[in-house]
Structure 1
C-alpha cells in the first residue's frame, strides 16, 4: 500500500486544503486586494478580488495542457474546493443504465432524506469538463445543493467521456438518460411532467442538445438551466481573445477539449455538436448563467439571444466578476452564491 494514496490521508489533505482556501478568500477586502495586486479590468468588467487571489496563489501556469488523466484528476480534486460543504439532509443513491456498446453508466439521484412527496420535480444534470473530464464526484456538492435549495430531486448523469468515447457517444448517453428518467418517473420518485435539464460548460452543451432533441417527446423538459454553456464549436468569439489566458479555462484548453471530443470530419455546425445551430422554436424556457471572465461568455449570450428570437422565454444573467468555473464556487464566493440562488430559484418554480 502506498501511504500517499491512502483514502483517509487523501481525505484529510483535501479538508486541510479546503480550510486554507476558505480562510484566504474570507480575509478582509483590503488584505485581499494587497495580495492580488491591481484590479484586473477587461471589457469594462472587474474580476472578483477573491478569485484574483486564488488565481495568483493556486492557478495553473498560463497555457498549460495536462494529459487526459491529469486533467481528470485535477477537476475531480479542484471541483469541491470552493463549493459548499456536504449537506447533512441530502442523500444519494445510484441507478445503472445500460447504454450502447454493452456499457453501463450511472445515474445518481439526490433528494432530501425527509422528503414525503414521491412525485417531485427533478433536474437531470450533466457535469462540465470539456467532454473529457468531470464526474459525479467533481459536481457532487453542486448537485447536493441544487436538490436542497431547489426543492427538487437531482439526477446526475455519469455520461461516457472523450477521447475514449468521442462524439456522438456522450450526447447519446445524455439523451438515453433523460428519456429513461422521463419514462420511468415512478422508479425515481419524480413527476415526468416537471422535469428540467441542466449543466455547466460541456454539460450545458449537453443539456441544450437534450432540450432540443426531446422537445417533441411525450415528456419534454419544462426548463433548461444552462451554466456557462459551450454551444458553438464552429468558431471562436471575441471573448476567446479577451480571456485567452489566466482565468482557469483558457483558449488552448478549449481547443484541446474540442480535439478530444470531435473527429476532424465532424460537422461543427451539426446541432448535436453546436446547439446554437439547432431548431430552437418550442424548446423549454431557459435560464442562461454566464461568467464575465470566460472564453465562452459571448456564445452564451448569443445562444440566449437566439432563444429569445425563437420566442423562448429566456432569462440571461452575466455575472461580470466571475470566471468560467464559478458554478463550483458557490460555497465561498459571494457573486457565485448569488448565481447559485438564481439557479435554484428557477428550479423551485418547476
Structure 2
C-alpha cells in the first residue's frame, strides 16, 4: 500500500532542509554528536530516575534507570534499552523521552545503556558494553522488584545491538530473554535494497549517511560479519519473540522487515509492523506523531502480557479489597 508522506514528516523534512547542515561525511564524529544530544519534545514524569556507573564486560559504563509508577496486581517488567545513532552519536539524554514512554507503556524498569561510541571505540565494543548492561540489569532485577518479562529494545543502530545481544544471550545460562523490541533496526550492510534506492536522498537518513556510519563502526573489518549484520546470522532459531517496527519512508525499512521474516521462518514468534507515512527515527518525535503513542501502547501491551504469564503466582502487589 502506497501512503503519502505524513504531514508532520513533510514539516520535519522542511525544517531539516532549512538548517542547511553539511552531510555527515563532511563533519567529525563530535560535530555529528551535537546534532542528537538532547531529547525532543516534552518528557513524561516518572517517580524515579537514577544515573549509575555500572560494571560492563570489559570496562565501566554509564546507565540510566527509569522506575515507573507501580501498578497494583501487575508484575513489573525489565527492558534494557540501547539507543540509536549509527553507533557514533546519541547518548542517555537523546533517548530520555523514548525510555520514559517505554517505562510507562510496558510497566517496566528501563535501563538505558550508554555504550561507548565509534570510531573511538569500534566494533565490537558497543556489543560488549550492551551485553554487560543486560547482564548487570538482570542481576539487579530482584532489587527493583522485577518479576515479569526481561527484554531488550533499541532503535536503529540500537535495534541492531539489541538483535545481536539477543543472539549472544541465546547461548548463555545466566540470562533468559523473554522479548526483543527492534525499532527500524539496522540488520544488514547491503545499501542497495529497494528502500535504499527509493529513499537514498531527501527522507532524513540518507544512503551516504549510513555508509559513513558503517565506516565509523566497522572500519576495515568485514561489514558482513553476522555480529554487525545479524540478517546474515546462520541460524536465528531459539531467539526470543520479537516486535519489529519499520517506517515506510526509511532506507532501513526492507532490511528490518527481512529480519522479521527470517525470525519467523526460524520459528520465532514475530509481530511485524510497518508504520505508514513516517520517516526513520519517528519514535523520537512523539510530540509530532500520534503514531508514537500508538506503537508504544502496542509494544507495552505485548510486554505486559508476557510479564503476567511469566511472573510467579502472588509475587507482585495485589489490589486492595473493596
Q: TM-score, normalized by length of structure 1?
A: 0.80
Please name the residue that 1:56 is paired with: 14
Q: Whole-Å Cα distance in 1 between the matches of residues 230 and 67 of structure 2?
A: 30
Question: Which deviates the most, 229-238 or 157-166?
Answer: 229-238
The alpha-carbon distance between structure 1 residues 116 and 71, as it changes in their structure 2 partners (threshold 3 A), is farther
| Structure 2 contact 55–132 (Cα < 8 Å) conserved | no
The alpha-carbon distance between structure 1 residues 309 and 283, as it changes in their structure 2 partners (threshold 3 A), is same
Please name the residue that 2:312 is paired with: none
| Structure 1 contact 249–324 (Cα < 8 Å) conserved | yes
SS in 1 for 2:142: helix
1:342 Cα offset (Å): 2.2
SS in 2 for 1:226: strand
SS in 2 for 1:45: coil
Q: 1:294-333 alignment to 2 at 5 Å? A: 294-333=250-289
Please name the residue that 1:289 is paired with: 245
The alpha-carbon distance between structure 1 residues 270 and 133, as it changes in their structure 2 partners (threshold 3 A), is same
Q: Whole-Å Cα distance in 1 between the matches of residues 70 and 145 of structure 2?
A: 13
Please name the residue that 1:271 is paired with: 226
Among 210, 213, 231, the alignment partner of 2:165 is 210
| Structure 2 contact 237–267 (Cα < 8 Å) conserved | yes
The alpha-carbon distance between structure 1 residues 345 and 312, as it changes in their structure 2 partners (threshold 3 A), is same
Identify the structure with bigger relative contact order (alpha carbons < 8 Å, sequence gap 6+).
Answer: 2
| Structure 1 contact 118–190 (Cα < 8 Å) conserved | no
- 1:98 paired to 2:55: yes
Unpaired segments of 5 or more residues in structure 2?
A: 307-322
| Structure 2 contact 77–106 (Cα < 8 Å) conserved | no
Q: 1:17-36 alignment to 2 at 5 Å? A: none
Unpaired segments of 5 or more residues in structure 1?
A: 1-42
SS in 2 for 1:332: coil
Q: 1:50-129 alignment to 2 at 5 Å? A: 50-59=8-17, 61=20, 64-65=23-24, 66-77=27-38, 80-81=39-40, 83=41, 85-99=42-56, 103-113=59-69, 120-129=76-85
1:119 Cα offset (Å): 6.8
Paired positions, count: 301
- 1:151 paired to 2:110: no
Question: Which deviates the most, 136-145 or 90-99?
Answer: 90-99
